[in-house]
Structure 1
């Protein structure tokens, strides 16, 4: 069962008698494996975020759009945490960096790599953010094929049973003929960080990307 990670962020996260909000996911793009989930207690004004291992996420329940979280109260108490809610995360992205030129000459703005003030940052958070990539940072990354720019990342798909990333969803960005096509993540040969353009290169010609399966044919739920 393939699941859209962007859509998964809108599902209900249930942990025993408590509900949580799934805010972001951290993953290893080379190993194609989910590593951490960023969650916060459900409720208006919740301002504490926790890091829980991706292995603590159960299988998605597509019929009611829920995702079980298998953690104990003790594990939640010991989890890396950070004060500040969504507004703090958005504040970090308020200042966009200048345009840079991608590998085929197309200008784009890489996503910023901000950090909360050191006093509010758990060292375990810093280690996780340095080691892994986040879904939020990948959305909007420019995507190039062998012979030019194909569009941008609009989503990632993962295999729920294994927790492994399986596909990249490429949005062609066209006003007329707008499409979102799905390509296997193993076709990715480069994923540059923000300091080097923040782009992704696929080992596919543009014609093959443009005729890849549409996202609606691939996802479940």
Structure 2
């Protein structure tokens, strides 16, 4: 089952004592693993957010468009509370403790590190360099071997394998507008440029233009 990550942001989070909304997802583009989720308590302002580990998320339930969130109230109290934009979020993310592997294969960090310890944690630079967000990738230019193919309009998630699986490429044409789906393993270059940059695929323009359409790949 492949799920649109952009669509996933509109699904309900279930299972906790409080209601939350999913605002963004952070991932490792090389390992194609989700690492973090940015959630906000329902009813709060958009600037007040929490960073929770991707291993806190259960398997997406496509039929009722819901996503289980398995966190205790104690973990929520200890989770970083984020105010402001991306830079503030990344600075808080960088204070998290060492990465371990969660039950679904996603890296995560226990939420028990003392705040004073976190401020001196030397791993912050590695965290900043490693993870990117869905919001960063939407709109990135995509190049085939022989020219520009369009822009990233979405990423697809393989829930069964727990991995990001495909890039959705929007050709941007007024006439013959299409969104085509190509596997992420066809990506040969990712120019980060401080979370901007572009994607280069090991495909020709013809191969991108004849790749499957989104409607043929994504769970309804």
Structure 2 length normalisation: TM-score? Answer: 0.80
The separation in 2 between residues aligned to 1:71 and 1:159, in whole angstroms, is 22
Q: Secondary structure at the match of 1:115?
A: helix
RMSD, aligned CA:
2.2
Q: Which residue number corresponds to residue 94 of structure 1?
A: none
Aligned match of 1:18: 18
Match of 2:135 in 1: 136
Q: 1:64 to 1:117 in 2, by over 3 A?
A: closer
Aligned to 1:152: 151
Unaligned runs of 5+ in 2: 97-123
The corresponding residue for 1:124 is 95
1:52 deviates by 0.9
The one-character-per-residue Cα deviations of 1:76-107 (angstroms, maximum 9, x if unpaired) are 122222124xxxx3xxxxxxxxxxxxxxxxxx
- Are residue 9 (structure 1) and residue 14 (structure 2) matched? no
Match of residue 87 from structure 2? 115
Greater shift after overlay, 10-19 or 20-29? 10-19
Give the aligned partner of residue 78 of structure 2. 78
Q: How does 1:27-66 map to 2 (within 5 A)?
A: 27-45=27-45, 47-66=47-66
Distance in 1 (alpha carbons) for counterparts of 2:15 and 2:76: 10
Query: Matched residues in 1 for 2:164 and 2:195: separation?
Result: 23
* Displacement after TM superposition at 1:47 (Å): 3.9
Range 45-54 or range 186-195, more displaced: 45-54
Q: What's the offset of the Cα at 1:59?
A: 1.2
For residues 21-43 of structure 1, the C-alpha deviation after alignment (integer angstroms, 9 at most, x for no partner) is 10100000100111110111111
Structure 1: unaligned runs, 5 residues or longer:
90-113
Residues 152-193 of structure 1 show CA distances to partners (whole Å, capped at 9, x for unaligned) of 000000111232000000000000000000000000001101
Secondary structure of 1:181 counterpart? strand
Quote how far apart the aligned CAs of 1:48 are: 2.1
Q: 1:115 to 1:220 in 2, by over 3 A?
A: same
Name the CA distance, whole Å, in 2 between partners of 1:73 and 1:195: 34
